[in-house]
Structure 1
Amino acid sequence: MNRLQHIRCHMLAYKNMNIATTLSSPLTTHVLNTAKGVPGANMTISLHRLNPISSEWYLLTTGITNDDGRCPGLITKESFIAGVYKIRFETGKYWDALGETCFYPYVEVIFTISDPSQKYHVPLLLSRFSFSTYKGS
């Protein structure tokens, strides 16, 4: 994660309340620290798409969750195509920054997008020794 991407993510998070109209990403995520009952702030995440021909993952973007555990603007509507995607959450670094250990050094959530005209929400519910996710709306 370079410094400009880090700053961009934080600036977007604090933009005015009209952010939904200026940054309508068709894919969103929300990290919740269920152990402490707070948003998972300052977690590095990355979004990847699988190349169906080579079976290689291609990095599309990286970001850091804001104070609400979200990272706005993950992908543009134009770049969001049908395919297999992966969001990688750097959970080990997140817990390290809190001065705690964890069992999972990272979490990768892999999912298929068949209709890119829809909106998709992929939340991560997290504690030091467990995680869960689901397809939200």
Structure 2
Amino acid sequence: MSHLTTHVLDATAGVPAAGIGVVLSGPDGAEIARGVTDADGRLALGPEMLAHAEHTLTFATGAYFARTGTATFYPRVSIAFTVGDRPHHHVPLLLSPFSYSTYRGS
């Protein structure tokens, strides 16, 4: 299993957000991995282990909403988080056109 997973839910439509491009960046801002959420809005990214440091996930939310014909305030969502001693990190995103929230998942 990848050290990092994410799950994006379109809270307005009440469905998984499929087809969202996601980039994982390391502490220096360099890209580590990229991918696209599957039909269930899920994606596993990166190597088996990540450095114990700050990382960023950037979600291409503007392109997702454009495909659905929905106006949005956020063209992208970037979530900075710290990788620690946990064996797995899960960073979910609850998304709507004009707000979003996230939390440390399990």
Structure 1 residue 76 displacement after superposition: 2.0
Relative contact order higher in (CA < 8 Å, ≥ 6 apart)? 2
Structure 1 residue 75 displacement after superposition: 1.4
Unmatched segments (≥5 aa) in structure 1: 1-23, 52-56
Aligned to 1:19: none
RMSD of the TM alignment (CA)?
A: 1.0
Task: Tell me whether 1:69 sits opposite 2:38 in the alignment.
Answer: no
Deviations 1:42-67 (A, max 9, x none): 0011000112xxxxx01011111000
Q: Which has the larger radius of gyration?
A: 1
TM-score with structure 1 length normalisation? 0.74
TM-score with structure 2 length normalisation? 0.95
1:36-51 to 2 correspondence within 5 Å?
36-51=13-28
2:74 to 93, 101, 104: 104
Work out the CA distance in 1 between the residues paired with 2:10 and 2:23. 18
- Bigger fraction of residues in helix: 1
Following TM superposition, where does structure 1 have runs of at least 4 consecutive aligned residues deviating by more than 2 angstroms? Answer: none
